[in-house]
Amino acid sequence: MTDLETRAAADRPGALRRAAPALLGYAAVRALGLAALALWSAARDKSAYTLLTARWDSLWYTRVAELGYGYEVRLPNGDVHSNLAFFPLLPWLERLGAAAGPLSYADAGFAVSLLASLAAAWGIFAVAEHAYGRDGEGAGRGLGRAVPGDGRVGTWAVLLWAVLPVGIVQSMAYSESLFTALAAWSLYAVLTGRWVAAGTLAALAGLTRPVGLAVAAAVWAAAITAFVRNRSGTAAHGALSAPRAPGGGARCALGMLLAPLGAAGYVLWVGHRTGRGPLGYLDVQAGWRNGFDGGVAFARFVAAKFTSFPAALAGVGLIVGVALLLWLYVVCVRQRQPLALLVYSGIVTALALCASSYFGSKPRLLLPAFPLLLPPALALARLRTSRSVLVVAGVAVASAGYGAFWLNGSGPP
């Protein structure tokens, strides 16, 4: 399939029809998770809706939507929690939703997350279908066995994203679903040569979360590769492949220019507001005890688990989990995923693992790294459908129970 044919495929009336099984399956998994949360919360005399919309980070987002920036909490130990740490796109949408109808800011945030999660699921399907080939071609060539060509890889990728242990966050008034939707569709625009759309969506992703720079980096990496291909006239394959820039290099350059504007613009605005210049946002994050230390704090956190036997089991689990993530990334490289996906998932994973932030949030920070799910999705697509359904259904039930337990805990996700 040529680049132009691939780009046109998403515009055909059949695009939504192809994604429909994935979207229906995604909705079913999320409904199961919400039902489990409702039952668990009722048993503990808590409100499931409050847990989803009015606790932890969701409260900070609604305060930004209602009051704007400038709110902060000073803790007894001297730490300062400022709402400048929270990027503005979700609060803007909450304010828009509340102004357009009878919804509260929290209600609007919940509605945005629900809609964005469906958009993210569709984007993940589109990326997987393109990367592994709707017609059996694509990044999966050369793996020794044929890649299913009926969209099953995309469907299983979406379902795996839905059944992640922290998948309940996709239904919370948090920014993960919104960010993943923007990131997925930006990456799809990169893969199909829509450079201006890719840059615009990357800029919006940068207004959603700090890790939006990972989307911008993916756009830049693919655009530079496309520019080199145009200049050299040579073909590239696998992880180094990128669509040739349509309309010469002008659209490609414009996409590159747009991509980092969201994140850079907000960080510079915070620096101006705090009077600290480019370091202002880092100071705000330091007030939350967030930073990037190359994983030193996380390594110490894991090592501390081995001081007692019950905690040592958790330490072993963390080590296995990190090893699994790294192995999945290696598999993505070996399967020759497009460069944009490798850059994006690599940066998201590195930032999540190497940040010195609240360690309980690391699984949530990894939620947008959906390209890591494409290799197991390919494995499920090669199995008999009945076996794959049993595997995913079992994981979905376990995920629903874990999400209900996790969200009813004392700490923020």
Q: What percent of the chain has pLDDT over 70?
A: 89
Flag whether pLDDT at 243 surpasses 80.
no
Flag whether pLDDT at 242 surpasses 90.
no
The first and second tokens of residue 73, run together, are: 């909490």
Band of residue 229 on the pLDDT scale cut at 50, 70, 90: confident
Beta carbons of 33 and 222 less than 8 angstroms apart: no
Q: At what angle do helices 152-162 and 374-382 cross, to 10 degrees?
A: 120
Mean pLDDT of 116-129: 97
Q: How many CB atoms lie within 10 A of CB 341?
A: 26
Q: Kindly report the backbone phi and psi dihedral angles of residue 54, in degrees, each rounded to the nearest multiple of 5, phi listed first.
A: -140, 40
Band of residue 241 on the pLDDT scale cut at 50, 70, 90: low
User: H-type helices in 68-104, by residue range?
Assistant: 89-100
Q: To which H or E segment does residue 200 belong?
A: helix 195-206
Q: What residues contact 155, with CB distance under 8 A and at least 6 apart? A: 21, 22, 25, 125, 381
Beta carbons of 177 and 117 less than 8 angstroms apart: yes
- Which pLDDT value is given to residue 139? 46
The first and second tokens of residue 400, run together, are: 């629903």
Q: How many CA atoms lie within 13 A of 88 on its CB side?
A: 17
Flag whether pLDDT at 143 surpasses 50.
no
Mean pLDDT of the chain, nearest integer: 89
Q: How many CB atoms lie within 10 A of CB 256?
A: 21
What is the C-alpha to C-alpha distance for residues 392 and 385, in angstroms, rounded to an integer?
Answer: 11
Mean pLDDT of 375-380: 96
Q: Kindly report the backbone phi and psi dihedral angles of residue 72, in degrees, each rounded to the nearest multiple of 5, phi listed first.
A: -150, 155
When computed from its CA atoms, the radius of gyration of the chain, rounded to whole angstroms, is 21
Flag whether pLDDT at 137 surpasses 80.
no
**Higher-scoring residue by pLDDT: 136, 124:** 124
* Segment 73-95, tens digit of pLDDT: 999 988 999 999 999 999 999 99
What is the C-alpha to C-alpha distance for residues 150 and 172, in angstroms, rounded to an integer?
Answer: 32
Beta carbons of 259 and 270 less than 8 angstroms apart: no
What is the C-alpha to C-alpha distance for residues 298 and 314, in angstroms, rounded to an integer?
Answer: 13
- Which pLDDT value is given to residue 135? 44
Sign of the C-alpha dihedral, residues 9, 13, 18, 19?
A: positive
- Comparing 81-90, 105-114, 179-188, 294-303, which segment has the lowest mean pLDDT? 294-303
Band of residue 244 on the pLDDT scale cut at 50, 70, 90: low
Flag whether pLDDT at 149 surpasses 60.
no
Q: What residues contact 257, with CB distance under 8 A and at least 6 apart? A: 199
The residue length of the chain stands at: 413
* Segment 8-49, tens digit of pLDDT: 444 555 788 899 999 999 999 999 999 999 999 999 999 999
> Burial, 163: exposed, middle or buried (Cβ in 10 Å; 0-12, 13-18, 19+)?
buried
Q: Is 81 helix (H, G, I), strand (E, B) or coil?
A: strand
* Segment 330-340, tens digit of pLDDT: 999 999 999 99
Flag whether pLDDT at 344 surpasses 60.
yes
Q: To which H or E segment does residue 379 belong?
A: helix 374-382
Beta carbons of 165 and 143 less than 8 angstroms apart: no
Band of residue 307 on the pLDDT scale cut at 50, 70, 90: confident
Sign of the C-alpha dihedral, residues 343, 348, 352, 354?
A: positive
Q: Is 194 helix (H, G, I), strand (E, B) or coil?
A: coil
Band of residue 140 on the pLDDT scale cut at 50, 70, 90: very low
C-alpha distances (whole Å) from 3 to each of 8, 128, 191, 192, 243 are 9, 16, 9, 6, 7
3-state SS of 263-314? HHHHHHHHHHHHCCHHHHHHHHHHHCCCCECCCHHHHHHHHHHHHCHHHHHH
Q: What percent of the chain has pLDDT over 90?
A: 73
